[in-house]
Every structure is written in C-alpha cells, then in structure tokens.
C-alpha cells in the first residue's frame, strides 16, 4: 500500500510540474483527487486493510492528498501570475508615443451637390420644402395632369403599395401640397429621394434623388424661367456657362422644354465629355399647366408660374466628372475619399 501511494504521488507531482494550462491542471485534479480519482480509490479500499494498519495508511493518504493539493495550488498561482503579467504587458500605454489620428468622415458627393444647389436657390429667394416619400396616386399623378391611362402610371415604372398609394416617382407632389395651401406667391425647391422601377446601370437606379423647383406669382413668364435657370447654371458650372432650351412635352407644363448647358470642359467647342456636341443636357422645365393650377385652387387667369426638375445624381456626375452612377452608392472608400 505504501508503495502504491508513493507511485501515485510521484506520478501526480510529475504531471503537475509538466502541465502548461489551467485546463490540464484541472484534469490532473480530477484524475487523482476526484470522486473516481486514483487517491480516492485508495481511500475506498481501506476496508481491505488490516484494522491495526488503517490509521497509518489513512495518515499516508491524507499526507499525499495535502501534498498534491499544495502542488496544484502553487502551480495554479504560477499560472495566474503569468496571465496577469501578460495582461499588464498588453495593457501598457506608452505615453511618449504620438496619439492615433482619428478617422474623420466627410460629406458624400450627393450631399455636396445638394448643398450647393440649395445655396444657389436660397440666395435667389427660394424656400426649401420637403414632403413624404410614400404618396397618394392623386398627388403623384392626377394633380399633375397625368390621367389614369398615362404610360407613366404603368406598374413597370412605379412602385405601388396599394392601388391608391405608391412610392413617389418625383418630388412634384410636394409642390402640389404647397399650392393647395393657397399661400401665394410661391418660390420653392423640393429636393428628395424618388423611386422608379428601373434596372440598375451606369445612369439608372430604382432609387435616386431629384430637385424640383416651382414659382407661382402674378405676371411670371418664360423669360423669368430662362433667367433663373441661366443664373443657376452659371453659379453651378461657371460664369461662362450658356443655356439652350429645346421644345419638349411634359403633362404638367405648357409650353415645356429640356435645357442644355454649354460644356464646361471645352467651353462649347466639342470634346469627349459632351460627345462632340458642345452641349450637355441637364434638366426639364416649363410653364405650369393652367389645369394644374386650377386643381390646386389657384386662378390661372390671375397667376402663372414655372417649374423645373433636375436629378441630383445628374449634377454630381457632371460636376465631378463621374461616368458611373453606381459609384455613388457602392461605399467604396477609395472613391469617396476623393471628395
């Protein structure tokens, strides 16, 4: 029995000294001192020892247990010391090192273009008005002189929530809400996100942004529209910028036009950027249709007005010479850091 106890003790101490982790140390404790451990098994076999030898054997077993427990605790303490030292070393702060430079965010190119457009129009006396992105069919189409059978109302172009509610395809509904309030005169722009069922490519997206403007007052003429857009183009693209109006058709304006600006890269001489024409299409506009005024409770015999709309992404693509609209939304830091 004495020989067995000595062998168990020496084997346990050898394993304790060789252990390198707390998990290994716990496993040794279970193997030797646990309920089914080797030293515990010796205690259970005390019934087979002669009565006169039991006190001596019991004392040897207890001494072996105490010895192993002391070795285990000592090793555990050593592990703890190593861990604490490693933690302190990892958490050490060298106050002589230079501070880490924090990464600062900056404005998105869309935001830069929007703020510049707002600055220009606010400087001309316009008010910035926002409205809901989920809109009634009436405000998005009917109040803008777009009848029920108009192609723009087809579901392939518009995201319908119900038969009467949709995601706005333009920010013109904001203009209708303002006109219905009857507070004249009106000088406003309505920037915001719009939605159309378009395939994603270099120039199209199902979600993009528009800036639409509206002026309603007495004696407003097409000349006022031309002067406003000419001033906008000059402030946005440079003092030498010229504008050209081409006849077009929009249901909510009459007469209507599309507006080109002289290429700000080549000064109108023709280059790769303007595809050799010297002109770049930028927006659509026109005089507010009398029926649109009537539906909003404004007398077209007394008041006239003009409206225009430009894509915010269109401004950003032109101003910063970006050839793919998808770059604005892909969150590529290599691209965004350029602004």
Binding-site members for Mg(2+) are 254
Contact 178, 288 (CB under 8 A): no
3-state secondary structure at position 176: helix
Instruction: Report the DSSP pairing between strands 127-128 and 243-250.
Output: unpaired
Angle, CA 117 vertex, CA 126 and CA 224 arms, to 5°: 50
Strands 134-136 and 279-288: unpaired
Residue among 7, 32, 6 nearest 19 (CA): 32
> What b/e sequence results for 116-139 when a residue is b if at least 16 CB atoms lie within 10 Å of its CB, and e otherwise?
ebeebbeeeebeebebeeebbbeb
Cα separation, 306 vs 290, in Å, equals 11
Tell me the DSSP string of 251-295. TTEEEEEEEEEE-TTTTTS--TTTTTSSEEEEEEEEEEPHHHHHH
Binding-site members are: 254
Question: Hey, is 161 helix, strand or coil?
Answer: coil
Instruction: Confirm if 270 and 277 have CB atoms less than 8 A apart.
Output: yes
Question: DSSP class of residue 149?
Answer: T
The neighbouring-strand residues paired with 186 are 216
């Amino acid at each position: 029995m004495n020989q067995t106890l000595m062998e168990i003790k020496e084997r346990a101490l050898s394993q304790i000294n060789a252990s390198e982790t707390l998990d290994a140390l716990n496993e040794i404790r279970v193997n030797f001192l646990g309920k089914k451990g080797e030293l515990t098994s010796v205690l259970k076999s005390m019934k087979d020892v002669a009565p006169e030898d039991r006190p001596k054997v019991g004392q040897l077993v207890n001494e072996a247990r105490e010895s192993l427990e002391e070795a285990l605790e000592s090793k555990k303490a050593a592990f703890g010391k190593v861990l604490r030292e490693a933690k302190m070393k990892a958490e050490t702060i060298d106050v002589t090192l230079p501070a880490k430079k924090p990464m600062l965010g900056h404005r998105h190119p869309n935001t830069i273009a929007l703020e510049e457009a707002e600055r220009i129009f606010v400087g001309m006396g316009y008010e910035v008005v926002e409205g809901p992105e989920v809109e009634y069919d009436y405000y998005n189409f009917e109040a803008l002189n777009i009848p029920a059978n108009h192609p723009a109302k087809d579901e392939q172009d518009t995201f319908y929530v119900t038969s009467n509610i949709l995601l706005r395809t333009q920010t013109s509904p904001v203009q209708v809400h303002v006109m219905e309030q009857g507070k004249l005169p009106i000088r406003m722009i309505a920037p915001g996100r719009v939605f159309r069922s378009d395939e994603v490519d270099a120039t199209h997206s199902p979600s993009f942004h528009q800036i639409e403007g509206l002026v309603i007052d007495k004696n407003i003429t097409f000349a006022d529209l031309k002067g406003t857009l000419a001033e906008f183009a000059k402030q946005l693209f440079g003092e030498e910028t010229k504008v050209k109006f081409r006849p077009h058709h929009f249901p909510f304006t009459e007469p209507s036009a599309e507006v080109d600006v002289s290429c700000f890269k080549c000064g109108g001489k023709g280059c790769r950027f303007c595809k050799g024409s010297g002109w770049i299409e930028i927006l659509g506009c026109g005089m507010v249709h009398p029926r649109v005024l009537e539906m909003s409770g404004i007398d077209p015999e007394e008041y006239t007005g003009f409206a225009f709309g430009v894509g915010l992404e269109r401004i950003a693509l032109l101003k910063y010479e970006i050839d793919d609209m998808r770059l604005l939304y892909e969150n590529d830091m290599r691209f965004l850091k350029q602004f």
